Each structure stands twice: as C-alpha cells, then as structure tokens.
Chains A and B, each alone.
Chain A
Amino acid sequence: VSRLTLQQAVIASISEEMRRDHRVFHMGQSIGASFNGSMSSGKGLGEEFGSRRIIDTPMSELAMVGSAVGAAMTGTRPIVQIMFAEFLTLVMAPLACDGATIHYRSGNKASVPMVVRTLFGTGPHRGHPEDFHSWAASVPGIKVVVPSTPRDAKGLMTSAIRDDNPVLFMEHMGLYHAAREEVPDESFSIPLGKADVKRVGRDVTVVASGMMVPLAVKVADSLKRRSIEIEVLDLRSIVPLDKDAILQSVAKTGRLVVVSETWASSDSSAEVAAVVAENLCDTRPIPIARLGLTKVPRPFALTLERMVVPGEEKLTAAVLAVMNQSGRDPQFITANPVPSMLGKEI
C-alpha cells in the first residue's frame, strides 16, 4: 500500500488502465507533459504515455466530449477531462443527447465506453466550484461517480474506465490534495452502485457524497459525545444509486438527512429523499431533512462562500431537527430547539 492523496489515487488508476489496455486514451486541455493538468490532474501521464495517448486539446469542450462519444463507438475507450464541472454546461448535447442514448437507440449494437472526469467543489482553487452532476444524473444512460476518499477514488475510477457506458467522474477540489489514505498499490476496482457506510450509527442516517462525507463524519464524531449516533452513508455513485443501502440504513435509524454541496433544487439529493419516502413512509413517519447550497449563484467572497455551503453548524442543526421531530427520544429536545426544518429547504 501507499499513502496517497485523492489526486494521486486517480492518476494511479488511469495509468494502470492505460498500461493494461492500449485502447484507453486521455484528452483534455493542458493535461499533457508541459503542464500536467489543472491542479496536477494529469501529473506524469504525458511523460509516461506521450502525446498520442495523452492529448492536449484546444479549449473546445463540446468537441472533446462529442468526439469522445464517436471514438468510444468505434473501438477506443476515451477519458475526457472537462477541467471544471462548470464547463459541463457546454457538453450536455453530446453527453446527454448522444452519449447517453446510443447504446439504447442502436438496439444494443453500439456502446459508449467513456469517462468524463471533472474538477469541482469548494476548495483551495477559489473558483469554478459549480457542481452540475445532477444534470447528468437526471438523464438515463449516464453513470455518475463522486468519490470522497483516495482509496474509493482509485477503485471507482478503475471501474469507470472499464465500464462500457458514459461515466461522469467528479473530483472534488477540496479533497484533491488533502487527506491521504492507504491505497493498495495493485490494481483493484470498487463496483459502481455500491454505497459505503463511513460511520455506523443507530439514530440518524446522513446520506452524503464528495466533500459532504468528511463533513458528515465530523458531525457524527461530535454528536457522538452527546449520545447521538449518526450513520454516514457515502453514496460513492449517484447513478446507479444504491437504494438497498439507503433503505437498509434508514429502516434501522428511522430518520434521514440528505446533504449536498449544490442547490437542493432538483438535486440528486431529492432522489434519495423520494426513495425513502416511497419505500418506508407507508409503515411509519420518517423525518427527512434536505440540506443544500443556498440558492444564489456561487459567491466568490470567502465569507459568503462559507455561508452558502452546508457546514458543521447547519448539518448539526438538521440532525437535531430530525431527532426532535420524531419525538421518540425526548432527551434530545434541547432547551433552545432549532427552528423546525422539516419539510422545508434549509
């Protein structure tokens, strides 16, 4: 094993797969040997694989994704880097209208094995934090992966590259060069569609992905001191969604908080809440809270950025709110109860 950052783990997977399969290639803007990608997202790849397989493209996201779809249909396995998820808005036609539909519309005769990887999220980069993963997740035919740890990132990227479908792989900038984790040196894969319990707990299920996972873990650790046990479920992939894991956890805890780093309007967190409501609420009431980004365009000022993104305080409040709501554990009803957040956007 090696102690790797998320960035190093992603690169480790890509290079292993490129060594293993000559059909895999990577294109993106400034990912080659002279610059190694934004935030080192292509580090070492250009040097090892050369400019035929690590392609520095013009600033043409539409053509990058559109041609990758065509390449994937014709015998290669492209990995495209869309530098920042903000630019996913430029590639929706080839990704959602073509890439997502070709296997189906060809009567299973063609397939589109490609990965679109992109940086996103609040973090040290101070720009381009937008997270449009829900746009892709809303279209049948695109898998969406959001890893939260280096080990997961490596195993999930390997699965994404080997998958015969378009996969959107979201790399969080706040996690990118942050916590290291022991990652196996040999190649391994983590199946897409398998959530991971990052903390076991009996009182509240917090469903999260990406940067919201370490946040949920932090809140879980701090509330444990107040005898509230949070189960943190890291989705790892938004599509396919691990409904079984969600239902299993919420059936146990009876309470759900879904936390997301993007606007809750039509965000994939709504899907999680709906799955629980449809499958569990007919037998007993289950308090559900959704926590997302304040509905304003992403602010640049640090003070404002901290206010709009879900943090420790807001998540703690949401957890306490669902605890209060259920009324089964009166000891958690505090002297100064937080305003009820149930059924409301926070």
Chain B
Amino acid sequence: MPIEFKVIGMYSGVLGSTISLATGAALSSHILESNSVTVVSFGEGCSNLGAFHENINLAATLDLPIVYVCQNNQYAMSTRSTQSMRCASVADRALGYGIPGVQVDGNDVLAVHRAVQEAVKRAREGSGPTLIEALTYRVSGHMGSEHPVYQDSEERETWKQRDPLRLFEGHLESLGIMDAATASRLAVTIRTEVVEAMKVAQADPDPGIQELAECDIFALTQGEVVK
C-alpha cells in the first residue's frame, strides 16, 4: 500500500525507529531499482542509539540511496551533546562507516538545502548515503512547557537571535525578494491558517469504541475474508 504523501512518521515511542524505517524505504528503492531517494531527520540524541549505527552501516555497505540528516540541537532531554559524545560533530561519525559526513549551519536554510540537495544527487547516482549534521540549538524545553534550567540562559538568548526564519527573511529582504511588510503579512496569514486548522481538529469528536477495532490489528491478505 502506498505511504500517504510519501512521508513516514513515527509509529512508536521508540526513538531511532524512523532511522530504521527510512533505511528500509531506501532498501525498497534498491530492490525495485527505482529512482527514489529517502531523506530522514532525527536528533543528535538518536545518534547514540544502536539503530543509528547499525542502519547507517547497513546502508553504507549496500550503497543505499538515503540521506541521514541529524539536527544537532545540542540537548537530548537535559543531556548536553558534549556529555554524550566525544567527537566534535555528529558528522565525524560518518568516517566510521566510510561515507561522507557534512556539517552545516542548521539555522541557515539555504546551507541546509544545498547540503541535502548535493547528498540526494549523490544518492541518486548510486554513490550511497551521506550523513549531514545541521548544527542548531533547542530554544525551548524538551517537553515544551518545562523550563530548561540545564541551559545557560545567555547562550539560549544568543541562539534565539539566530532564529532560522528571521535569518532567512533578512536574506530575502537583502535580495529584494520580499520586504518586511510582506513578511509580517505572511506571518499573520500562516498563523491564522494554523489556528483555524487546530480549531477544526479540536472540534472533531473524541474517538468512540468503534475506533478501537481489534479487527484492524492485522491487514487482510489478498483473498482473505473477515471472520
């Protein structure tokens, strides 16, 4: 069955699983000899999981068409990345798998775009996976509401000044593509759209017992009838 919008989400609370699922999507491209490339994104906390190491190594040995994008926001819950890894960059880990490792400014939209495009091109040519580290910073708590007491507030403020959307707006303004008025109009339009969508979602009825559907646990195999 097709994957909706060609996007694979999280199906369990186990971090690292999406790295596995994405590697599998690339494996399908390999088996079916299709032109598809898979891009997967995860945090630097996940780069300490077996799923990260095993899958990237597997993808490297098979030259799978996949791009691993690690958003290093420097915190896994409260754990600072410098406490959880000895290497300077997650990109350095690529050396261990014999694939290119690229570090980019994760708050620079165009730099990330360029790095991913280059890696996609490489993957499509059959040259295998690339590991990209997009270095950024988590400007909120892990769970949204909690106050990140484990962060240096001065450091957090410095990074807030480097908000990727603001930086990109500035860039577009400097090129004369978009002026400040358009940017704020756009911000209002988008905010309204999101708020409306939230309202619609919240107005939906709570799921009832019919949604539990034990009979949906297993997919029906071709020719199988529901008992």
Contact = CB atoms under 8 A, between A and B. Distances in A.
Interface of A: 22-23, 25, 52-53, 55, 57-58, 60, 62-76, 78, 93-94, 97-98, 101-106, 108-113, 140-141, 143, 162-165
Contacts of B22: 70
A23 B32 contact: yes
B23 A70 contact: yes
Contact of A97 (B4, B12, B23): B12
Interface in B57-111: 57-58, 61-62
Listed residue (B50, B62, B218) with the most chain A CB atoms within 10 angstroms of its CB: B218
Given A63-B57, A109-B4, A74 B25 contact: yes
Nearest to B50: A62
A62 B31 contact: no
5 contacts: A58-B61, A63-B55, A64-B58, A93-B12, A97-B13
A98 B22 CA distance: 13
Interface stretch (B149-157, B163-171, B219-227): B219-227
Contact of A75 (B16, B32, B58, B217): B32
B57 A71 contact: no
B148 interface: no
Interface string B102-135: 0000000000000000000000000000000000
B141 interface: no
Q: 4 shortest A-B CB distances, which residue pairs?
A: A70-B24, A66-B20, A63-B54, A70-B21
B14 interface: yes
B108 to A, nearest CB: 30
B59 to A, nearest CB: 8
Contact of B221 (A68, A74, A108, A162): A162
B146 interface: no
Contacts of B19: 66
A142 to B, nearest CB: 9
A76 B27 contact: yes
A69 B61 contact: no
Secondary structure type dominating chain B contacts: helix
Contact of A74 (B3, B16, B57): B3
B139 interface: no
Given A55-B62, A93-B17, A66 B216 contact: no
Contacts of B11: 97-98, 101-102, 105-106
A163 B222 CA distance: 8
Given A110-B3, A141-B218, 14 more contacts: A55-B62, A58-B54, A62-B50, A67-B23, A70-B24, A71-B31, A73-B24, A74-B8, A76-B27, A94-B14, A98-B17, A111-B1, A111-B219, A141-B217
B32 A66 contact: no
A143 B219 CA distance: 11
B28 interface: yes
A58 B62 CA distance: 10
Given A73-B24, A98-B17, A108 B50 contact: no
A115 to B, nearest CB: 13
A63 B222 contact: no
Contact of A108 (B8, B20, B219): B219
A101 B221 contact: no
A106 B30 CA distance: 24
A52 B21 CA distance: 19
A143 B28 contact: no
Given A60-B57, A60-B58, A164 B27 contact: no
Contacts of B61: 57-58
A71 B30 CA distance: 10
B183 interface: no
A74 B4 contact: no
A73 B1 CA distance: 7
Contacts of B1: 109-111
B51 interface: yes
A63 B14 contact: no
A72 B28 CA distance: 8
Interface in B142-198: none
Nearest to B17: A98
Nearest to B22: A70
A52 B30 contact: yes
Contact of B23 (A25, A63, A113): A63
